[in-house]
Structure 1
Amino acid sequence: MPTAALVGVALLGGLVGLVVPPLARRFATPPARPRPVRGAWVLLGPTVAAVVYGSLAVARGDDPALPVFLALAAVGLVLAAVDLACLRLPNPLVLAAGLLALAGLAGEAVLADDPDRLLGALAGSAVAGAAHVLLALLPGSRLGFGDVKLAAVLGLPLGCLGRDALLTGLILAHVLHGALVLGLLAARRVRRDTLLPLGPALLAGAWLGALVG
């Protein structure tokens, strides 16, 4: 991808980052009594979004499914902000992400005459969803059904990129979450019974999986 196009995609990401806080506030509703989605995110959001968009353009610039990944990243940023604010992954946002991924990848498979990528996406969704259902059923698990649904959605783009991307994305999500939990416990910022959002880690893992897949 030409340098000018990469810069344009990164700038687009920065603009997406600007609209994330008001959208997140719209979905961060009671009864969770969320903290306002502002402050650090208002300052860091455009930078984070620009990095996400720019890195995806670098890694997947030759992939015709890049617009699908960018659209999913936009919804994912809103989901991450909401989950950080009130430990919720709203169904409308997760459903929108799923429909975007499924429709976009199906259209790309038809245009490229490559049904294997769509089959890989569906298989990835099934594997990711089933794995997280099993994790949610483990004794003492704090995995919510919203996390299970988000994992199944993220399995679509990762699955279309292949097994390595899927495994990398799923494993890194839990490695990142586990490292964060251990760090917060060591710093005595949380207790063992403190609920922490998994959505941002799932999204970060999927992003990293897309970069290396």
Structure 2
Amino acid sequence: MSAAALVPVALVGALVGLAVPPLARRFATPPDRTGADPEPRPTVWAWLSPMVAAVVFVGLAVARGDDPALPVFLAVAAVGLVLAGVDLACLRLPDPLVRTAALLALGGLTAAALLAGTPDRLLGALAGAAVAGAAHVLLALLPGSRLGFGDVKLAAVLGLPLGWLGRDALLAGLLLPHLLHGGLVLGLLAARRVRRDTLLPLGPALLAGAWLAVLLV
């Protein structure tokens, strides 16, 4: 994809990033007793979100510019940014957002496979979702595991686009999130910012690992 074509992609990403903080607040914080949304508070994330979203979108466009499923990757990334914001705020991955990402991924990849005449890639996407979901179910069932079933469902959804790209992308997408999360936990423990029993969100690592896997394959 040419540099000129990346400019509108970056602008769309930045616009998505502007919408992420208020959407994340809406899902992370329930309305008050009068039914009104709580007063929003400006955060560092609110300022960084447009830049992060632009980088995410441009990275996907550079890596998958010739893939008919690029719009699907961008749509899933947009929902993923909101999910990351919610998980960072309240250690929760709301089902409505995960379902939205799943519908966008499954519907978009089905359309892309039919339009491109590559139904085998859709089968690969479905297999990727099954493998990613099953692997994380096993991890969640391990004694002492802190993996929540929201994380399991998100991993299965991310298995769709990763499976579309093939075995290498799926394997990277399964391993990278846990390497990122483990490194972060060790760093925070070394800095004494958390304790061993502190719960930390895994959703952002799942999303970041999947994004890196797309860029690396």
For structure 1, list consecutive stretches of 5 or more residues without a partner in the other structure: 31-35
**How far did residue 2 of structure 1 move?**
2.3
Greater than 6 Å deviation, 4+ residue runs: none
Q: What corresponds to 1:169 in structure 2? A: 173
1:92 aligned to 2:109? no
**How far did residue 37 of structure 1 move?**
7.1
Query: 1:57-72 to 2 correspondence within 5 Å?
Result: 57-72=61-76
**How far did residue 96 of structure 1 move?**
0.2
The one-character-per-residue Cα deviations of 1:29-66 (angstroms, maximum 9, x if unpaired) are 35xxxxx7741111111111010001111110111100
**How far did residue 138 of structure 1 move?**
0.2
Which of these residues, 117, 127, 133, is aligned with residue 129 of structure 1? 133
Q: If the length of structure 1 is used for normalisation, what is the TM-score? A: 0.96
1:208 aligned to 2:212? yes
1:159 aligned to 2:168? no
Q: What corresponds to 1:191 in structure 2? A: 195
For structure 2, list consecutive stretches of 5 or more residues without a partner in the other structure: 31-39
**Percent same amino acid among aligned pairs?**
80
The CA distance in 1 between the partners of 2:19 and 2:43, in whole Å, is 14
Q: 1:37 to 1:165 in 2, by over 3 A?
A: farther
Match of 2:82, as an amino acid? V
Tell me how many residue pairs correspond in the alignment.
210
The CA distance in 1 between the partners of 2:52 and 2:41, in whole Å, is 15
**How far did residue 3 of structure 1 move?**
1.7
Q: What corresponds to 1:142 in structure 2? A: 146
The CA distance in 1 between the partners of 2:15 and 2:127, in whole Å, is 33
The one-character-per-residue Cα deviations of 1:6-39 (angstroms, maximum 9, x if unpaired) are 1110111011100001100110035xxxxx7741
Q: What corresponds to 1:16 in structure 2? A: 16
Match of 2:8, as an amino acid? G
Aligned-CA RMSD value: 1.5
Contact 1:25 1:37 in 2 (8 A): no
1:107 aligned to 2:107? no
User: Secondary structure of the residue that 1:185 maps to in structure 2?
Assistant: helix
Contact 1:21 1:37 in 2 (8 A): no
The one-character-per-residue Cα deviations of 1:88-138 (angstroms, maximum 9, x if unpaired) are 000000000000000000000000110111000000000000000000000
**How far did residue 209 of structure 1 move?**
0.9
User: Secondary structure of the residue that 2:78 maps to in structure 1?
Assistant: helix
The CA distance in 1 between the partners of 2:212 and 2:42, in whole Å, is 25
Match of 2:177, as an amino acid? A
